[in-house]
Amino acid sequence: MPSLATFGETMLRLSPAAGDRIETATQLDFQTAGAESNVAIAASNLGVDSTWISKLPDSPLGRRVTREIRSHGVEPSVTWTEEGRQGTYYIEQGGDPRGTNVIYDRADAAIRTTTPSEATECVDLESMDAVYTSGITPALSSQLRETTATLLERARSAGATTVFDLNYRSKLWSPANARSCYRSLLESVDVAVIAARDARSVLELSGDDASIGRELAETYDPDVVVVTRGEDGAMAVDGDGRLHEQPAFPAETLDPIGTGDAFVGGFLASYLRDRDVSSALEYGSATAALKRTIDGDLAVVTPAEVDAVIDDAGGGIAR
């Protein structure tokens, strides 16, 4: 069984019923959510031995997070602290033209003070097949920028495949601040996942999506660059310069939040087994389609369900 460690913040997700406003709601649904734990949970459900690394307040709210993460087969590796708080976010899901709005309440969260030793010494990096984090984590504090860089460097030195999803969040930092950080981190990344829109707006790349993937591959020399394209699916450039394309699988969308994390979790579950990029893209896309039918951030799916999505599509892969 392949092994994966992820590092990042998990928040409590509070949401009124679809269509309700937070300012008038009388009830809120109470779940956990965070890109890195979302990826770990998706991968765990698909047969990966997954660990989630973080720092939490030693409080009922912090313990609520670890309890749910553990319930999905992921082992929390947490530094507990008496300082800092548990981050939360609120989500209003409305139809057009209002759309969906996310309101963060994560100032002074405990994870912001995580040191390199706290992130790297709580797991045996040499035993991990892959280590994943996202661009959300270094956006949270200058301390986390240092810690994220150190984690990727030490994981790669330990022989783990390093995985980084740009995952740009405009409510956390500006494109200019994110750009310099991302460019530095990508030097230590083996598998890079980047939304085409973020490659253009944050990294200031131009051209079509394939050109963006090839430019990133030539600049940073990772094993794989995955470019996600929303409803147009995903594509990847491998270490030999070959282009792989995968359309999105159709899905009735009940909750789109967490779809990108589900894609990464599915991609890694396949890629870490056999290193076949085309199969991993297909598996990730099928996992993402299933997630869109599930309420909340988490891809609570099975390998049989992912296989069924792929089989029912009759192939549908362009290579």
Residue 31 · residue 12 · CB < 8 Å: yes
Query: Is there a catalytic annotation at residue 261?
Result: yes
Cis peptide before 97 (omega within 30 of 0): yes
Give CA–CA dist 279/294, Å, rounded: 23
Residues 60-78, buried b or exposed e (16+ Cβ, 10 A)?
eebbbbbebbeebebbbbb
| DSSP letter (8 states) at residue 128 | -
Residue 1 · residue 32 · CB < 8 Å: no
Residue 227 · residue 212 · CB < 8 Å: yes
Catalytic-labelled residue, pool 261, 274, 297, 307: 261
Give CA–CA dist 194/182, Å, rounded: 11
A 10 A CB-CB count for 79 gives 19
Give CA–CA dist 175/150, Å, rounded: 22
Q: Which two tokens stand for residue 319?
A: 């290579």
CA 65, 156, 127 angle in degrees (round to 5)? 60
Residue 131 · residue 19 · CB < 8 Å: no
How far is residue 75 from each of residues 144, 230, 270, measured CA to CA in Å?
22, 30, 20
Query: In Å, how far from its chain's centre is CA 270?
Result: 16
Residue 268 · residue 132 · CB < 8 Å: yes
| Residues carrying an active site annotation | 261
